[in-house]
């Protein structure tokens, strides 16, 4: 732990006034990895080059999160709305999980990382989902960082499915209406068993949620940067963590 804190101090350009803030490492960080296309465009490259480079940022930030002792890292990789993009781009994006797993799985295992996935599996092609499922099985007993990919994920769809699921339990007489509370709802979401994100990061300057974790982010701290995802470094990540550590979370209290 002390080593991690020093590593963080060493890499940071700004030292926080209160060293105690290093005790507040967020348990769960969620990231809307945005700006791949614009990153590529500014370099005169095709959008797919941005996605390829974005994959390297995934590796970089996963390792950075692991070093800091963050327990859960949820990455928004593909939304339920992203299917509306041109077929070539969707096809390219659907190949990335396999590439990522092929290149990185050994190192993820060596670092005790546990891979998970949330989202709607039914629409994903086999070449996208199978390698991920294999990685999930191979890393299921790892006890380090949980690397949770949101793939074909949409918060409204997630909540609708949870509501239908609950309604069908009620209609079968297995659940009483009075038993429906926040805890039950949370247990029917894809994040069941995980704590809510403490910190949400969105890159690329967009200030919106784009259908991401709308239940779970109710009390998360939000941090935005203009930096495009492929250009997002460990230093940028530390900047976000430092800012989080300076925030006072009141949860409606005083
Ligand atoms: C994020 O980058 C990756 C996905 C949404 C899959 P974008 O592809 O949205 O890049 P911009 O926002 O168009 O620059
Ligand atoms: C959100 O980014 C989805 C992911 C990062 C996977 P988008 O680029 O799809 O979001 P909008 O369209 O700008 O809201
Ligand atoms: Mg975008």
Q: Does the Cβ of 58 fall within 6 Å of ligand 1? A: no
Q: Which of 66, 82, 181, 196 is labelled catalytic?
A: 82
Ligand 3 (ion): residues with CB under 5 Å are: 34
Nearest CA to ligand 2 atom 14: 210
Find out whether 191 is annotated in a ligand binding site. no
Provide the Cα torsion 31, 143, 134, 35; round to 10°: 10
Domain 26-153+200-211+219-246 is classified in which CATH homologous superfamily? Decaprenyl diphosphate synthase-like (3.40.1180.10)
- What does the alpha-carbon distance between residue 138 and residue 136 come to, in Å, rounded to a whole number? 6
Q: Is 34 a catalytic residue?
A: yes
Q: Does the Cβ of 78 fall within 6 Å of ligand 1? A: yes
CB neighbours (10 Å) of residue 226? 10
Q: How far, rounded to the nearest angstrom, does the alpha carbon of residue 71 sit from its chain's CA centroid?
A: 12
Q: Is 142 a catalytic residue?
A: no
Taking the whole predicted model, whether its pTM rises above 0.85 is answered as yes
Per domain, the residue ranges of the chain are 26-153+200-211+219-246, 155-194
Find out whether 34 is annotated in a ligand binding site. yes
Q: Does the Cβ of 40 fall within 6 Å of ligand 1? A: no
> Which of 153, 145, 12, 176 shows the shortest CA–CA distance to 72?
145
| Helix (H), strand (E) counts: the chain | 8, 6
Per-residue pLDDT of the chain (254 residues; tens, 9 = 90+): 444 544 454 444 444 444 344 579 999 999 999 999 999 999 999 999 999 999 999 999 999 999 999 999 999 999 999 999 999 999 999 999 999 999 999 999 999 999 999 999 999 999 999 999 999 999 999 999 999 999 999 999 999 999 999 999 999 999 999 999 999 999 999 999 999 999 999 999 999 999 999 999 999 999 999 999 999 999 999 999 999 999 999 999 99
């Amino acid at each position: 732990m002390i080593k991690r804190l020093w590593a963080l101090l060493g890499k940071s350009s700004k030292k926080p006034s209160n060293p105690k803030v290093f005790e507040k490492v967020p348990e769960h960080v969620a990231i809307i990895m945005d700006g791949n296309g614009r990153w590529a465009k500014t370099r005169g490259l095709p959008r797919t080059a941005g996605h390829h480079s974005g994959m390297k940022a995934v590796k970089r930030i996963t390792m950075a999160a692991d070093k800091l002792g963050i327990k859960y890292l949820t990455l928004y990789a593909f939304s339920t709305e992203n299917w509306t993009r041109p077929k070539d781009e969707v096809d390219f994006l659907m190949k990335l999980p396999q590439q990522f797993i092929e290149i990185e799985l050994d190192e993820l295992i060596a670092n005790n990382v546990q891979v998970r996935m949330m989202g709607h599996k039914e629409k994903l092609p086999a070449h996208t989902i199978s390698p991920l499922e294999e990685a999930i099985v191979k890393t299921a007993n790892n006890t380090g960082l949980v690397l949770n990919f949101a793939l074909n994920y949409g918060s409204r769809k997630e909540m609708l499915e949870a509501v239908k699921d609950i309604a069908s339990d009620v209609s079968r007489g297995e659940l009483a209406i009075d038993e429906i509370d926040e805890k039950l709802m949370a247990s029917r979401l894809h994040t069941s068993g995980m704590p809510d994100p403490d910190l949400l990061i969105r890159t690329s300057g967009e200030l919106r949620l784009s259908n991401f974790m709308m239940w779970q982010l109710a009390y998360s701290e939000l941090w935005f940067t203009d930096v495009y995802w492929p250009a997002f470094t460990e230093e940028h990540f530390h900047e976000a963590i430092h800012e989080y550590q300076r925030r006072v979370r009141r949860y409606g209290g005083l």
